[in-house]
Amino acid sequence: MIFETHAHYDDDAFAKDREELVSSLFLGKVGRIINVGASIASTKTTLNLAEQYENMYAAVGVHPSDVADLNEETFAWLREQTTHPKTVAVGEIGLDYYWDKEPEVQARQREWFMRQLTLAKESRLPVIIHSRDAAEDTMNILKEVGRWDICDMSDDEVCGVIHCFSYSPEMAREFVKMGYYIGVGGVVTFKNAKKLKETVEQIPLERILLETDCPYMAPEPHRGKRNESSYIPYVIEKIAELKHVTAEEVEHVTWENAMTLFSKGRGRE
Ligand code: NI
């Protein structure tokens, strides 16, 4: 079974056929889906979706480009959602200096990244991290707020995933050393994705998670179209080729990886 660790099925792109599509995924090869909140509004819609489907879970959090959503009141609400029975992670949270170049905006991103990391730590939940053009600050903040102790996982040094990984293989190895997983999606199938292919070659399969980030980032041969979890086998094929293992092994190991990471919060399993 495929564990899809990063989807946005509450997105408007799925307005017309959401129910039909999600039900069909669970009848196929997709065993579990984490729908990921990115704003206060999408954290609400994410939780609604997770309540509807037994095998859909929720990540609650505010994306760096939406930190304008956050104030003491909304943050208190977010804190309450970490105890929702379907919540398995805090995310997606992080830094995005690609879209936001102003220093004051970036400072606000850092502040809310730290507060949401601390919230994850207090709630003993793993984190789903979005980081673009901000590798150094992301790394520094993770080191400052705490590494593997974020989820009180001092036994096996595991605490989150760097989703849609876009940095160098050297950075990936560093994040892995700190206890993080690396999220790999459609980009790995693109012809020009040299860095990500090298990253997959250089890190252990035991630290890779499968994800779509749908509706975005569709793999070849669907590049540019609306993405969905049933396209993950194209990503699996490519990872299998790069790691010289079978597709079945990639599917199996990444399933176990996701189960390990996302079942730790509050003593699940
Ligand atoms: Ni996302």
Residue 124 in 3-state DSSP?
Answer: coil
> Tens digit of pLDDT per residue, the chain (269 long)?
999 999 999 999 999 999 999 999 999 999 999 999 999 999 999 999 999 999 999 999 999 999 999 999 999 999 999 999 999 999 999 999 998 889 999 999 999 999 999 998 888 889 999 999 999 999 999 888 865 555 555 544 458 999 999 999 999 999 998 889 999 999 999 999 999 999 999 999 999 999 999 999 999 999 999 999 999 999 999 999 999 999 999 999 999 999 989 985 433 44
Distance from residue 104's CA to the centre of ligand 1 (Å): 24
Distance from residue 166's CA to the centre of ligand 1 (Å): 13
Per the structure block, which two tokens stand in for 230? Answer: 């049933």
Distance from residue 213's CA to the centre of ligand 1 (Å): 5
- Is pTM beyond 0.85 here? yes
Distance from residue 105's CA to the centre of ligand 1 (Å): 20
Distance from residue 163's CA to the centre of ligand 1 (Å): 8
Per the structure block, which two tokens stand in for 182? Answer: 């690396």
* Token pair 């009141």: residue: 73
Distance from residue 7's CA to the centre of ligand 1 (Å): 7
Distance from residue 80's CA to the centre of ligand 1 (Å): 22
Distance from residue 228's CA to the centre of ligand 1 (Å): 13
Q: What span, in angstroms and rounded, lies between the C-alpha atoms of 70 and 76? A: 10
Q: Say how many Å lie between the first and final Cα of the chain, rounded.
A: 18
Burial 35-63 (b: 16+ CB within 10 A, else e): bbbbbbebbebbbebbeebeebbbbbbbb
Contact 132, 176 (CB under 8 A): no
Distance from residue 202's CA to the centre of ligand 1 (Å): 24
Distance from residue 198's CA to the centre of ligand 1 (Å): 22
φ/ψ of 57, rounded to 5, equals -120, 170
H/E stretch holding 108 reads helix 103-123
What contacts 249, CB < 8 A, 6 or more positions away?
Answer: 205, 240
